Structures are given as C-alpha cells and as structure tokens.
Structure 1
C-alpha cells in the first residue's frame, strides 16, 4: 500500500514540473514579437505571442482617400499574417503538451 503512495507522489511531482515548464514556455511565447506584412509591405503590424497588437506601420502610398477599401484589405492581410505566425509558433511550442489530449 505504501509503495503506491510513492508512485503517486512521484507522478504528482512530475506533473508539477511539466506544468512549470508549460507556464515558462507560454510566458516566453507571449513575450515574442511576430510581424505580419501585407502585399508589397504597404502595411506591417507587430503582435506579441498572446495576440496583443504592439505596432502598426502604414506606408503613405497605401493611403488613398478614394480607395479606403484597399487600405482596409492591406491591414486585414497584415493582421491575419501575424496571427497565423503566432498560431503556428504556439502549436509548435505548446503542441507537445496537448498531443493525445482531446
């Protein structure tokens, strides 16, 4: 009976260690910067790993009062590019902890 308790304590210790590693890796991921760019680099955005926009740069050539739709499309393209990169890195970094879980 006592032997089983030792295994349980060992397993709990390993789980706590894994949880600490997950937290550390998530914090490191959140601190990373991801740049998204629109075609022709007319719009650039920077996000953190936790999907907070930090910066946006718009090339003055992209600002045409007669074609606001183009600027909106460029911003969307840059934001989606950055978020795709965040998701890919998150899956790459954190996926090892969620493999096999439903």
Structure 2
C-alpha cells in the first residue's frame, strides 16, 4: 500500500517552489516597465510592474495650448493605458510561473 502522505509532501514542495518563483517575479516587477501614450504621443506615461507610475512626458506644445482640461484627459488616458499594459505584462509573467492556472488575488 502506498503512503498517502507521500504525494501530499510532493504537492507541498511544488507549491512552495511556485510561491518562491512568484515572490521573485514580484520582486523584479519594479524593474520592468510599460508605457502608455495619448494624443498621438502628446502625453506619455510609464508604469512599472508594481503598478506605480514612474515617468510622465508632456510635449511642451500641449502646455502652450492653454487647454488644461484636454491635457488632464490625455494624462489620465496615458496613465490608464500604461497601468493596463503593466498589469498585462505581470499577468503574463505570473502565468509562466503558475503554468496558466488562474490564481485569484495575484494580480
């Protein structure tokens, strides 16, 4: 008769290894970036894999236009695009670690 706990120990080892890999991916996340832009490149925003905005670039011509509302909209659109791309990038990284299993709460 096989030891029923032997298989459980193997599963626990695999889970621990996956957890370590996920921790490594999350640790490295701050070094990976994604960029979003709006207004044909008028505003460019960069976000990292930790979902933090790390850069904003605004074409000086947009500031001269004296249309603050439009500039605000462009910044929001570019920020949301950068964060979406960063999220998608990290989801792909996590998928590689989890073998494609859906793990709620990871991202």
What's the TM-score once normalised by structure 1's chain length?
0.82
| 1:79 has 2:79 as partner | yes
Runs of 4+ with deviation above 6 angstroms: none
Q: What do residues 21-68 of structure 1 show as CA deviations (whole Å, max 9, x unaligned)?
A: 111122223320111111221111111111111111111101146311
1:72 Cα deviation after fit: 0.6
What's the TM-score once normalised by structure 2's chain length?
0.79
RMSD: 2.3
Structure 2 alignment gaps of length 5 or more: none
1:86 Cα deviation after fit: 1.0
Identify the structure with the greater helix proportion. Answer: 1
Distance 1:84 1:99 in 2: 21
Structure 1 alignment gaps of length 5 or more: none
